[in-house]
């Protein structure tokens, strides 16, 4: 004798609640992390919602946390312009909303003599891209021979003062600096390498990878 059992499943649809928190992204112009003393720099909070009241803040090497309020930079809406940088402007910068949400953090170093730059418009660097490092001085020609270092170890010396890293991978992430024998050493700069960016198109349900 066979018996059958009927199982009844009840599907309950629970309402899904999404909470949206406005976000902002800090950008720097010119797009670099090292500046010479006396350079001008503009920092902007690119915001999703202007009503969130995003403001630029910083913590400098003397541990002072301050908002862009006219004492060290000229505030214009969600942007801040430092018209003449000093070494004490070195520190970390970020955007913060009235509710306490924060953006990405950017480290800025102001140096008097030599700096390390890279030809990549936005940090972090995407895997697979090329990055060129430039060792520049304030007063002498910018094509002097320079030695490039990663995490304290010499990579190589380039006769024209610039070095290209082709097809960047995660292993290229680290602390870089350069040295020009006649002028000295640049401050170190950390280069972060991130994976390929994913974009989701909700209309076609298709994921496209931008490389």
CATH number at residue 90: 2.60.40.10
Supply the pLDDT for residue 199: 38
Backbone angles phi, psi at 49, to 5 degrees: -140, 110
Q: 60 lies in which domain range?
A: 23-112
Contact 138, 36 (CB under 8 A): yes
Q: Which residue, 49, 54, 55, 61, is CA-closest to 73? A: 55
* Low-confidence residues of the chain: pLDDT under 70: 1-22, 49-52, 120-123, 141-142, 196-211
Supply the pLDDT for residue 196: 62
Q: Do 130 and 188 share a domain, yes or no?
A: yes
**Last-in-domain residue among 112, 133, 154:** 112
| Within-domain flag for 184 | yes
**Last-in-domain residue among 66, 92, 112:** 112
| Within-domain flag for 161 | yes
Contact 66, 56 (CB under 8 A): no
Supply the pLDDT for residue 203: 35
Supply the pLDDT for residue 205: 29
Contact 188, 176 (CB under 8 A): yes
CA–CA separation, 116 and 137 (whole Å):
9
101-131, pLDDT tens digit by residue? Answer: 898 889 899 988 888 887 765 567 889 999 9
Count of structural domains, the chain: 2
């Amino acid at each position: 004798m066979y018996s059958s059992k009927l199982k009844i499943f009840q599907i309950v649809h629970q309402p899904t609640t999404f909470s949206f928190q406005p976000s902002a992204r800090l950008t720097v112009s010119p797009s670099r992390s090292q500046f010479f003393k006396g350079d001008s720099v503009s920092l902007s909070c690119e915001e999703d919602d202007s009503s969130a009241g995003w403001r630029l803040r910083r913590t400098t090497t003397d541990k002072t946390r301050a908002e862009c309020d006219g004492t060290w930079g000229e505030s214009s809406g969600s942007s801040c312009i430092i018209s003449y940088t000093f070494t004490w402007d070195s520190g970390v910068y970020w955007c913060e909303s009235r509710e306490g949400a924060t953006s990405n953090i950017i480290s800025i170093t102001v140096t008097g003599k030599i700096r390390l730059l890279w030809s990549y418009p936005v940090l972090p660097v995407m895997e697979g891209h090329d990055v060129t490092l430039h060792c520049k001085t304030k007063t002498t020609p910018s094509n002097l021979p320079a030695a490039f270092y990663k995490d304290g170890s010499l990579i190589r010396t380039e006769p024209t003062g610039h070095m290209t890293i082709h097809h960047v991978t995660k292993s290229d992430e680290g602390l870089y600096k350069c040295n020009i024998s006649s002028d000295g050493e640049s401050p170190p700069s950390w280069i972060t390498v991130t994976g390929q960016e994913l974009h989701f198109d909700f209309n076609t349900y298709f994921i496209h990878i931008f490389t």
